[in-house]
Structure 1
Amino acid sequence: MGKIFKNDVSVLFNNNPISEDFHLYECGYEECKPTKPYEFVPIDYWVIHYCIAGEGIFQIEDKQNHIKAGDIFMIPPYTKNKYYPLPENPWSYHWIGLRGKQIHKLLSMCGLSPETYIIHNELDTHLKNLFEKIYQEFQRERYFKSISTTFLLFDYLGNHLRLKQKAELSTTEVYFNAILNYIHKNYADNISISDIATANNIDRTYVFKLFQKYLKISPSQYLQQYRLSKACTLLRKTSLSITDISYTVGFQHAPYFTKLFTQYIGETPSEYRKEYMRFGEDSFS
């Protein structure tokens, strides 16, 4: 960092968003000195840090996490947090701050979400260079260039690191991901738990154990919920009849679909569709 940046800390802001969907609001870096732990006031935008040297503690939702060089940690908007360097080996990091309606979706595609705040990894020179370039272009007021580099950063996180982590998955995780992929591709067919097990060359009992381990529900419950989520989309987005929608998402009997939909969603498919038609698409996520 010393060859590129002159000071120990710097932060830059851009208060003129190009779009409501995506705004690179700030970026910065800091070579930290040992400090006492203190709590940060929650902010109204997303912040992604990349630790490039040293170690520190990141506390969020009352859970402490040890951060080392190579790790990424994210703070969602309006979230109580605390982070500080370890006195014996204080960290240095880059960060970017993001605003916009699509930030949540974009970060989720990169493996970061309000449920997954941290990506543990070895120090990655390419990732470090991307953060540095975002800062440099931002400093030169080349905002389109800094934004395009931010999307290169997203692409790298969403592909390279995700593939690397996938290669490190345990055997049970591999099986479970394969089961979910099978359900997502075949939910519209009349599939059973036996079909799921056979397609993945495992026993029915093992399918149940995997769902209990990772989701705490049965495979049948997951399949039903997934089908219902697809039905909600079709009710909002298409003019298909409720009977046609029930068959399209894999239910064999329309009355059973209506009963189950009402049980899970809290209103009938017809009521759900009318509500959507009354308020418009913007009322639904």
Structure 2
Amino acid sequence: MAKLFEKEIGILIDDEPIGNELQLYECGFEECRPTKPYEFIPIDYWVLHYCIDGEGYFQIRDKQNHIHPGDLFMIPPHTKNKYFPMPSNPWSYRWIGIKGTLAKRILHTCGLSSEHYILHHKVDSRLEHLFETVYDDLKSQHKLKALGVTIQLLDYIQHNVYNNEKDELTSSELYFNQAIHFIHKNYFNNISIADIATAANIDRTYMYKLFQKYTKQSPSQYLQQYRLEKANILLRKSPLNITDVSYAVGFQNPPYFTKLYTQYWGITPSEYRKGFLLQDNND
């Protein structure tokens, strides 16, 4: 197979931002070898990859996804992940990494978030050209131009990738997305599985099958996990006591919250908070 790039890999990093709303922090390309090991990158920014050729695997939150040519996949900040090429058909991809106060909101308009991090698409010469242009402009030290093309790239994804994918969703995906949306907007309330099913306009049995298909969990397990993840944020960033944290994320019985939290994370909520306080003091 002919080489796609002159070099196997190219990486550019710009750690001197023009502003704090949206920053092009890095961009690059890579033509992976079949034997390349998996990567794990703990980052504090958003990285969006576009698979140009070949295949690979992207794993996040213990869920492995098969990536094909044309697909986009995103690594959210501070999220455990790994990805690696298929040995028999190793992938090549381009990527951009962005930061800023508006980055999360802009990516959400493109259908990308911490919960939805893959867009299935086709090989798209226009999209590839935009990724390539971002790299070339930054390499030439045209930082404003590179940022402008980054915005064009995200606009293209919003209108020509995400909107097309929405149009092609199956009925089961639409019902599942409605259920997930309801949970994310109402997890802090005393909602029941019946409430979620009603919001998605499906019965409980069908909803259970959808969650098993897309998350390998029951709806109640997904809801509990989501609440416990939100509890961690409050334990780190708020002055609320443990009882108030439990109510704030939708648990009506604080002792049950502590028991469930300890079973799920392996430490108590107090121990988790204490660990972050000690880390902050050491810093």
Partner in structure 1 of residue 246 of structure 2: 246
Please report how far the alpha carbon of residue 171 of structure 1 lies from its aligned counterpart in structure 2 after TM superposition: 0.5
RMSD (Å) for aligned C-alpha atoms: 4.5
**1:133-171 alpha-carbon deviations (Å, 9 max, x no partner):** 325524543133213322432343256412221211111
Q: Does 1:81 align with 2:76?
A: no
Instruction: Name the CA shift for 1:230/1:79 in 2 (closer, same or farther; >3 Å).
Output: closer
**1:208-241 alpha-carbon deviations (Å, 9 max, x no partner):** 1111111121111111111111111111111112
Conserved in 2, the CA contact under 8 Å of 1:50 and 1:94?
yes
Question: In structure 2, how many angstroms separate the alpha carbons of the residues matched to 1:185 and 1:26?
Answer: 36
Instruction: Name the CA shift for 1:186/1:97 in 2 (closer, same or farther; >3 Å).
Output: closer
> Matched residue of 2:252: which SS?
coil
Q: TM-score, normalised by structure 1?
A: 0.67
Instruction: Name the CA shift for 1:122/1:143 in 2 (closer, same or farther; >3 Å).
Output: same
Q: Does 1:58 align with 2:55?
A: yes
Partner in structure 2 of residue 186 of structure 1: 186
Partner in structure 1 of residue 223 of structure 2: 223
Q: Does 1:233 align with 2:237?
A: no
Partner in structure 1 of residue 214 of structure 2: 214
Please report how far the alpha carbon of residue 25 of structure 1 lies from its aligned counterpart in structure 2 after TM superposition: 4.8
Q: Does 1:123 align with 2:124?
A: yes
Please report how far the alpha carbon of residue 192 of structure 1 lies from its aligned counterpart in structure 2 after TM superposition: 0.9
Q: Does 1:266 align with 2:266?
A: yes
Conserved in 1, the CA contact under 8 Å of 2:175 and 2:200?
yes
Instruction: Name the CA shift for 1:233/1:140 in 2 (closer, same or farther; >3 Å).
Output: closer
Within 5 Å, give how 1:188-207 maps onto structure 2: 188-207=188-207
1:121 maps to a residue whose letter is: K
Partner in structure 2 of residue 39 of structure 1: 34
Q: Does 1:24 align with 2:26?
A: yes
1:123 maps to a residue whose letter is: D
Please report how far the alpha carbon of residue 186 of structure 1 lies from its aligned counterpart in structure 2 after TM superposition: 1.1
Conserved in 2, the CA contact under 8 Å of 1:24 and 1:147?
no
Conserved in 1, the CA contact under 8 Å of 2:56 and 2:83?
no
Q: Structure 2: 5+ residue runs without aligned partners? A: 18-22, 42-46, 59-63, 76-80
> Matched residue of 1:257: which SS?
helix
Partner in structure 1 of residue 168 of structure 2: 168
Question: In structure 2, how many angstroms separate the alpha carbons of the residues matched to 1:260 and 1:41?
Answer: 40
Please report how far the alpha carbon of residue 48 of structure 1 lies from its aligned counterpart in structure 2 after TM superposition: 4.0
> Matched residue of 2:16: which SS?
coil
Conserved in 2, the CA contact under 8 Å of 1:40 and 1:80?
no
Question: In structure 1, how many angstroms separate the alpha carbons of the residues matched to 2:280 and 2:83?
Answer: 30
Question: In structure 2, how many angstroms separate the alpha carbons of the residues matched to 1:47 and 1:235?
Answer: 29
Instruction: Name the CA shift for 1:263/1:148 in 2 (closer, same or farther; >3 Å).
Output: same
Instruction: Name the CA shift for 1:191/1:108 in 2 (closer, same or farther; >3 Å).
Output: same
Partner in structure 1 of residue 44 of structure 2: none
Partner in structure 2 of residue 134 of structure 1: 134
Question: In structure 2, how many angstroms separate the alpha carbons of the residues matched to 1:63 and 1:222?
Answer: 19
Q: Structure 1: 5+ residue runs without aligned partners? A: 1-7, 31-36, 86-92
Question: In structure 1, how many angstroms separate the alpha carbons of the residues matched to 2:73 and 2:26?
Answer: 15
- If you compute each CA radius of gyration, which structure gives the higher value, 1 or 2? 1
Question: In structure 1, how many angstroms separate the alpha carbons of the residues matched to 2:192 and 2:273?
Answer: 29
Please report how far the alpha carbon of residue 201 of structure 1 lies from its aligned counterpart in structure 2 after TM superposition: 2.1
Identity %: 38
